[in-house]
Amino acid sequence: MNLAASRRAGTGLWAAVAACLLVLPGAAAHAEGLDAIQTILGDSETSPVPQGWTVGAAAYSGSSPYSAGSSTTMVIPGGIYVGDELMYLGDRIFYTFGRQGPISFFGRLRVRLGNLDPDDSPEWTGLTSRKAQLEAGLGAVIVSPVGLWTTRFSSDISGRSKGTELLVNWAAPIIGEGWMVMPGVGVLWRNSRLANYYFGGVSPAEAAPGRPAYDVGNAWSLAPSLIASWRIDRHWLAGVVLAYERFSSPIADSPLIQKTGRYDALVGLGYVWR
């Protein structure tokens, strides 16, 4: 659990603003009321999300989706690369392969880290480890007068869970000279294979006294967030992210979950490599 949390913290800030980063100036220019989005990407000394390499560290606190899992607090180093088409965000890579007016199309590779190890809790004795998987997906970002809309489909290509996930997200970046605040909310749909593997499924072989077999089935989650970025000077960038995932009842009612959601919070400081 600690390994998964540490990797998530190292990239969490940048993964959270991925939808915003994918919108490039050429597409944004076609959206009335959102021309200011052009300041997000670029090589200026005041861009709140500068291009190129940014390296730094984040102070992170986050909760486990499982009732027997512990919350994690730590400080971890990390780094990202933001280019015109390619983004490297630690555990995932985005490539924008096409643009049509206000719409950008992208491909995505991600390593979804494992989130359950039976050695971490006596309550998980007899369960199978939920290990990491490699996911691939396609998506699009639409710049509209009321915000940024992201839709993305991804699927396990490593044969671990053999599951799929669909995301629809809305975000509204508010941009000033050297700073950005972006509230947003997303809806996640996970099919039964992915939900059972990472969000509370208990197979008949894993059932035990006090832990009945449980099929999560297809499940939804609601994910509000608030992201802020501040360009301190030409070399230094600070960021904050607050995120919460509200589980639907198929996940929350699992004998392994037994709670309504999970949170992630971090404060990051990065050095812009110029």
| Domains of the chain: residue spans and CATH | 2-57+76-272 (2.40.160)
pLDDT at 69 over 50: yes
Rounded to an integer, what is the distance from CA 190 to the centroid of its chain? 14
pLDDT at 190 over 60: yes
Residue pair 62/8 in contact (Cβ under 8 Å)? The answer is yes
Per-residue pLDDT, 10: 33
For 40-63, how does the pLDDT look when each residue is reduced to its tens digit (9 = 90+)? 566 678 888 888 899 999 899 999
The pTM (predicted TM-score) of the whole model is 0.84
Per-residue pLDDT, 5: 39
How far is it, in rounded angstroms, from Cα 141 to Cα 150? Answer: 4
Q: Is 43 exposed, middle or buried (0-12, 13-18, 19+ CB in 10 A)?
A: exposed
Per-residue pLDDT, 176: 84
For residue 229, which phi and psi values (nearest 5 degrees)?
-140, 140
As beta bridge partners, residue 226 has: 183, 242
Alpha carbon dihedral 144, 244, 136, 237, in 10-degree steps, equals 70
- Nearest residue to 248 (alpha-carbon basis) of 231, 261, 236: 261
Q: Per-residue pLDDT averaged across 64-84, rounded?
A: 89
- Nearest residue to 264 (alpha-carbon basis) of 67, 1, 9, 7: 9
Provide the token pair at 34. 């959102």
Residue pair 47/38 in contact (Cβ under 8 Å)? The answer is no
Per-residue pLDDT, 155: 98
Per-residue pLDDT, 63: 94
Rounded alpha-carbon distances, angstroms, from residue 43 to 36, 40, 143, 179, 197: 15, 10, 21, 14, 42
Per-residue pLDDT, 41: 61
Sequence-ordered strand ranges (E) for 23-91: 52-62, 72-82, 86-88
Per-residue pLDDT, 6: 36
Choose the weakest-confidence range: 43-47, 49-53, 103-107, 137-141.
43-47
The mean pLDDT of the chain is 84
